[in-house]
Amino acid sequence: MTVTCVNIVWFRDDLRLTDHPALSTATQARTASAYTTAVYVLDEQSPGIRPLGAAAKWWLHHALLELRSDLAALGVPLILRQGPAEVMVPGLVDELREHWGLARDAVALFWNRRYGGGEHRADAAIKELLREQGCSVSSFPGTLLHEPWTVKTQEQSHFKVFTPFYNAAQDIPLRPVLPAPAPVPGQPAVTAPVPSDELDSWKLLPARPDWSAGLAAAWTPGEAAAQARLDLVLEEVAAGYPTGRDRPDYDGTSRLSPALRWGHLSPVQVWEALSSAAAASPEKAEGARSIMRQLAWRDFFWNQLYHQPQLPTRNLRPEFDGFDWSWPTELLPAPTARPAAGQSGTAASQPAANSLPGPDCDPVQAGIDALYTSWCTGDTGFPLVDAGMAQLWQTGWMHNRVRMVTASLLVKNLGIHWRAGEAWFWDTLVDADAASNPANWQWVAGCGADAAPYFRVFNPVLQARKFDPRGAYQTRFAAALGAEPVVDLKESRAAALTAYEHMKQASRTGDTQQ
């Protein structure tokens, strides 16, 4: 085989073939002498890039297996590399160039853009380095409806409130949805011309014990399963979504968040499909548009992260830096064994890799740690919360209404910093998203952009009566839990509101502390 040029498609959080601008561009001009390959780099070492949580690693393993199979059908091998992207990607370019004996300008690299601070910096550095060496580097929009710098206020700044952001975004045309590339007729089986890591060597799957059975029962990672779920949403879920979205006791939500987080579907794909459904079916229109609004919230959160990269670690409203939240001594790691339906679980006790700041252990601190452990393990004595935490352990996912209730209990009734809860969700959610996860936690805590008022405290008992009236959800996931409530809801709510008033007074007088 004579090769005169090499096209490399770098996959990231866009593990699909359909509506993949980088893949489509790289494969459009395929000829007998143009070699196309794909690469995925597991980069947990570059500055500012957050290591994946345990549940996300499980998902990634299976998603890469599916992607490798899908790409092979196109005649495109998938090369796996682990390490800093600024080392791995230029290194792969050199290996492929040297293998075929090509000049640097015969190698082209394609990717869909990323918007997190660490990822954005790494991509910019790689692009600059390779272009200086004569390689062609092309990047594309592929993971959001609109790129963060395109939706602006009249003053050309980014929006900090959702509704005007949403209104402005709707005036911007979407790019067209791209079909999956067609296989090359008679394409032989593909083998990468340079070494690839063995996926098993990354050890993404849990072992000793393997707690992933519940995840495997609940999800099938990959583009085909994501498309099947979208079809089900269009056919069955959309019509009842306006009311069903708040009911955890049945399948009334889109459940598309993992597909969007891993890019098995692009948001443009989903938006256009929902828009068509709304236009064609009046009974589905309200629900379809409601789901479209949720897609816009996802864009809004990524807009916040792009413009305010401190989102995962700092309050976006600085007055909350002086709020008297408690800190657990350490972030608990993922449970060594996730509970079966209706059973409680106990988190592992070994120290976490990323400890949170906190005072030396004393009786007060021991009480804070006990409350945090009870929340993590679903032993709070509030059945809706404990059912949500059990659902999270078992399936790597939690109903959004229940996410708000569980987050509110931790931050407001238990008085524990939102970052402790955000870190637990990051490790246990299959859809843990670098922007949406911290932004939603800041929303509940009242310290984020366009956040819920701090004094909005979700009562888990009243929420259960309203949204799980027959107790089906609680019975399914928390039937055997009989713990006494760890806190008095009325007293803890009053204490939270008092702390909030103290914070406001301190903010007005300038007497705040980090």
- CA 210 – CA 213 distance, rounded (Å): 7
- CA 331 – CA 355 distance, rounded (Å): 6
Q: DSSP character for 238?
A: G
- CA 415 – CA 431 distance, rounded (Å): 26
Residue 2 phi/psi, 5-degree rounding, is: -90, 125
259, 222 Cβ separation under 8 angstroms: no
Q: What is the mean pLDDT of the chain?
A: 91
Written in H, E and C, the secondary structure of 417-441 is CHHHHHHHHHHHCCCCCCCHHHHHH
> What per-residue confidence (pLDDT) applies to 338?
39
Going residue by residue through the chain, which has 514 residues, state the pLDDT in tens, using 9 for 90 and above.
Answer: 688 999 999 999 999 999 999 999 999 877 777 889 999 999 999 999 999 999 999 999 999 999 999 999 999 999 999 999 999 999 999 999 999 999 999 999 999 999 999 999 999 999 999 999 999 999 999 999 999 999 999 999 999 999 999 999 999 999 999 999 988 765 555 788 899 999 999 999 999 899 999 999 999 999 999 999 999 999 999 999 999 999 999 999 999 999 999 999 999 999 999 999 999 999 999 999 999 999 999 999 999 999 999 999 999 999 999 999 999 988 764 444 334 434 444 333 233 334 454 545 689 999 999 999 999 999 999 999 999 999 999 999 999 999 999 999 999 999 999 999 999 999 999 999 999 999 999 999 999 988 888 889 999 999 999 999 999 999 999 876 567 999 999 999 999 999 999 999 988 877 654 4
Could you give all domains of the chain from N- to C-terminal order, each with its CATH number? 1-141 (3.40.50.620), 144-174+223-307 (1.25.40.80), 318-509 (1.10.579.10)
Residue 147 phi/psi, 5-degree rounding, is: -70, 150
In residues, how long is the chain?
Answer: 514
> What per-residue confidence (pLDDT) applies to 507?
82
Sheet of 136-140, strand order: 78-82, 34-42, 5-11, 107-112, 136-140
> What per-residue confidence (pLDDT) applies to 20?
98
Q: DSSP character for 342?
A: T
- CA 360 – CA 489 distance, rounded (Å): 28
What are the helix (H) ranges across 206-281?
Answer: 213-218, 223-232, 241-244, 257-261, 267-280
- Provide the β-strand partners of residue 80: 40
381, 486 Cβ separation under 8 angstroms: yes
> What per-residue confidence (pLDDT) applies to 344?
42
Residues 6+ apart with CB under 8 A from 172: 146, 150, 151
Q: Which two tokens stand for residue 435?
A: 């922007």
Q: Which two tokens stand for residue 244?
A: 């069903």
